[in-house]
Chains A and B, each alone.
Chain A
Amino acid sequence: MTGAAVIEARGVGRVLPGPVPVTLVRDIDMTVREAEFVAVTGPSGSGKSSLLYLLGLLDHPTSGRILLDGEDTTALDERGLADTRLRKIGFVFQFHFLLPEFTVLGNVMVPMRRLGRLSETAMRERAEGLLADFGLADQMTKRPDQVSGGQRQRVAIARALANRPRVILCDEPTGNLDTHSSANVFEIFAGLVHAQGATIVAVTHDLDFAAGTDRRIHLVDGRIVEDGPNRGAPAAAGTVAAS
């Protein structure tokens, strides 16, 4: 338990209203610290993705609080949440979700251009650097439909890293990839965490992927039933859910 807390969930619950309210997650207490590589696992419908969307400020908890870098996000309005996502969170989804009209390079530059901190040249240099790091130097001018599935996911990872986020949230990042590409994506994530100190939370069904992470949070029926270090991995802070 060395790094500072990046994301904290305190008593978080999410219930979808309706004639029959549906509980997506309940009583979530967890802390993700800097340079942690966390896998969130569980059966289908256990609330993994819902938890990720709550941690990524894409959804609002109906109870509890989510803190990002110690800042309570409960009071933030839509604009404030969007700004926080822009500056502090990077997403990687199962499907690459690249903008089809933009080139590979253009897709990586989109978050940087929205943030507007860098000059056009600096943005381009950073995007080219990221793509080169992921072996995509010769694919930059291509459109997403002109590159392979594995390459698209690497572009999506580069895009998630573009604004140097505090945490990268991944929803089944290898769910749509073949074994080779999955291994490649995992290596990228592991490299980011161990070499660059990135913080990654990945929802996954992929047991091999989960086994390679530092810490594993297991959900069943919207509750954390297990939270602890993976065997053989360095010990990481975890809070076993009260339930």
Chain B
Amino acid sequence: MAIDFSIALTHLRNRRRQTAVSVMGVALGVGFFVAVSSLMRGSERDFIEKLVDSAPHITVKDEYRQPPLQPVERLYGAGAVSLRSLKPRDEVRGIRNYKAKLEVLSRLDGVAVAPALLGQVILRYGAKDMSATLNGIEPARERLVTQLVDDMIVGALDDLETTANGIIIGRSLAGKLKAGVGDNISVISTAGVVRKMKVVGLFSTGVVAIDEGTVYALIKKAQVLLDRPQTANRLRLRLAEPNGALALAADIEARVGYLAESWQEANEDVLSVLVIRNAIMYSIVGAILVVASFGIFNIISTVVLEKTRDIAILKSMGFNAGDIRRIFLIEGVLVGIAGSVLGWVIGYGMLAGLATIQFKPPGFTEEQGFPLYEGVDQYLIAGGFALLSATLAAYLPARRASALRPVDILRGAA
């Protein structure tokens, strides 16, 4: 064993109680770091997974990021005369020639694409009216881009094909309408078209806004209901690699001209909240480790004060300033390592305990557990941070120790 390490170890061994308190401080910091990080990242992942699973990864909309220039602006935009009150050119609503675009996009690697026609409708059943967004879909393609098939709790997506004027509604909406599978409800579109449609299935995503505000029908029925024949206003894509959505959306937008919105862009505000939440989490847990590092600073400062004579004698024996600094840095690192390892055990135990807790959050029908992230990286981050804190905490007293002049101490001791 190297002499520096050996001396450092004996210093710590001979202050068992102080060392144990310092190690425990670091361990608790690391343990809480792991537990809180696991909860935060688990819930973040769970949230993003739900976000990614419940919605397409890219949605091409019948909108433009920048409104297109009107013909007169194109011709006279840079003219000396200011033109006012221009009447915009009438545009056909929806994605032009959507079937051709659908085919082009469906040929991309790792991409599934489905068309949709969305429009607002009123659902009337008995005396109850509820507004909802009607999604006109192609079931065969829809199952490839959304989790609707998995979310079906009564009936099946294919029932839309086999039942004339079939409609699938959310369980919450069905509850509010007091309608069930087999019931015929009136669907009134903003175009003024009214159709009787038969409920063929119920779905539940767990997201109240979707379960209460979305209904599904065949795209052909939606085109009739919304009076927009041969039209789709959404092309929805699901990617094998969801994280590539941002780049692919930009590429698609450049190719088709319409607004292509990735799931990251659509949920930018939510994702930025997650970033802020993570920053707060790491700050708080980091503060615990900073407090723990004061414990390390304390013990090593004490050792340096107690050991000034030993430092002088070590220097007289031929230890240089670097050796002395290393001895006390090693002490900090040892406390950091011991604290990290113990903290990992504490963190692991806390996660095991949290995993056994089941509760029913508001809006959920079944008991849920904490969404925990169990990756090794959070243990490594916590350990690394603890080690860094411990080393920094040891550095100041170590530097002070290395700067001691043996002759000053020996004169005083004589």
Binding site for B on A (CB under 8 A): 49, 53, 56, 58-59, 78-79, 82-87, 89, 91, 93-95, 97, 99-102, 110-111, 113-115, 159, 163, 171-172
Contacts and interface: CB of A to CB of B under 8 A. Distances in A.
Contacts of B320: 78-79, 82-83
A234 B250 CA distance: 98
Given A95-B413, A99-B310, A101-B13, A115 B7 contact: no
Interface of B: 2-3, 6-7, 10-11, 13-14, 309-310, 312-323, 405-407, 410-411, 413-414
A163 B319 CA distance: 13
Contact of A114 (B317, B405, B411, B414): B317
Contacts of A159: 317
Contact of A53 (B3, B10, B11, B407): B407
A163 B317 CA distance: 10
Nearest to A172: B414
Say whether chain B's binding surface is mostly helix, strand, loop, or mixed: helix
B7 A99 contact: yes
A93 B410 contact: yes
Contacts of B11: 101
A85 B6 contact: no
A45 B6 CA distance: 38
Contacts, number: 85
Given A53-B410, A94-B414, A110 B316 contact: no
19 contacts: A49-B411, A53-B407, A56-B316, A58-B315, A59-B407, A82-B321, A84-B318, A91-B317, A94-B414, A97-B413, A99-B314, A100-B14, A110-B317, A111-B317, A113-B3, A113-B6, A114-B319, A114-B323, A171-B414
B413 A110 contact: no
A110 B3 contact: yes
B309 A82 contact: no
A122 B336 CA distance: 34
Given A59-B407, A99-B310, A93 B317 contact: no
A97 B319 CA distance: 15
A2 to B, nearest CB: 29
Contacts of B312: 97
Nearest to A165: B318
Contacts of A79: 320-322
A163 B316 CA distance: 13
Nearest to A94: B414
A113 B323 CA distance: 12
Given A113-B3, A114-B323, A85 B410 contact: no
B10 A101 contact: yes
A122 to B, nearest CB: 15
A171 B412 CA distance: 13
Given A58-B315, A114-B317, A159-B317, 5 more contacts: A59-B405, A94-B414, A97-B413, A110-B317, A171-B414
